[in-house]
Amino acid sequence: MPAVIDLVGFDADDTLWHSETWFQAAHVEFERILGGYLDLADADLHERLLATERANIRLFGYGAKGMTLSMIETAIALTAERISAADLHRIVALGKAILQHPVELLPGVRVAVEAVAATHRVVLITKGDLFHQERKVAESGLADLFQRIEIVSEKDERSYARLLAEFGTAPAGFAMVGNSQKSDIAPVLALGGWGIHVPYPLIWALEQAEIDPAHPRFASVARLDAVPAVLADWS
């Protein structure tokens, strides 16, 4: 199915640089803290935290700050308000550590984005805490490769449609590259665009989704440096 793709979007977290690794490490430390108050085998801690995060997304949005507030809320509820101020401070420190963690690019990222930028307009599309995402983009050294940096509260059909309208691009002329099939790929396919999935070893439970690998406008590659070849094949 030949296509004239003129605009390519790249996700940021876990597509260009590591992110979920640090969130998962914070979850492990959170369990250690709560282990001083609960029998973790019976507490359903993971499920309770996930349910709290899901309920709070509309209030706090995505990112380390929302995760930290959800951890605090979960800890207070599960310990029946017995958790100490010192341990609440430890939970706050977990969130701060993520916000301050240095940006670590995934292998071959700059070369891959440069190759796509040589033949297409490219835009970075990410969601999460505004300050944190802006800092990571600045520290990544990749900002100069993108015609635009778009930080949105949610990556859904509405957000992508607005962006495409502003670029004057029809969905059929847009391809999105990212690690989340739910946020990066599914909404774009629903609009009529193209999606290239680049899996990351870890994925947050609320980002899990499965797209039919036989979808004619979908491809999955192991590394970002395979993206230029997929775009060339589609064209």
d(CA 98, CA 132) in angstroms, rounded, equals: 9
Tokens (6 digits) for 165: 């309208």
On whether residue 203 sits in a domain, the answer given is yes
Domain of residue 125, CATH code: 3.40.50.1000
**Quick one: 115 and 196 in the same domain?**
yes
**Quick one: 124 and 83 in the same domain?**
no
Cβ proximity of 171 and 191 under 8 Å? yes
Q: Quick one: what percent of the chain has pLDDT higher than 70?
A: 99
pLDDT at residue 1 tops 60? no
Tokens (6 digits) for 102: 């240095």
- Give every CB contact of residue 182 below 8 A, 6+ residues apart in sequence: 207, 208, 209
**DSSP code at position 84:** -
pTM higher than 0.85, yes or no?
yes
On whether residue 1 sits in a domain, the answer given is no
| Per-residue pLDDT reduced to its tens digit, 33-55 | 999 999 888 778 999 999 999 99
**Structural domain of residue 38, as residue ranges?**
20-100
Question: Total domain count for the chain?
Answer: 2
- pLDDT band of residue 2 (cuts 50, 70, 90) is low
**Quick one: 129 and 206 in the same domain?**
yes
**Quick one: 29 and 92 in the same domain?**
yes
Q: Which residues of 76-96 are buried (b: 16+ CB within 10 A; e: fewer)?
A: eebbeeebeeebeebbeebbe
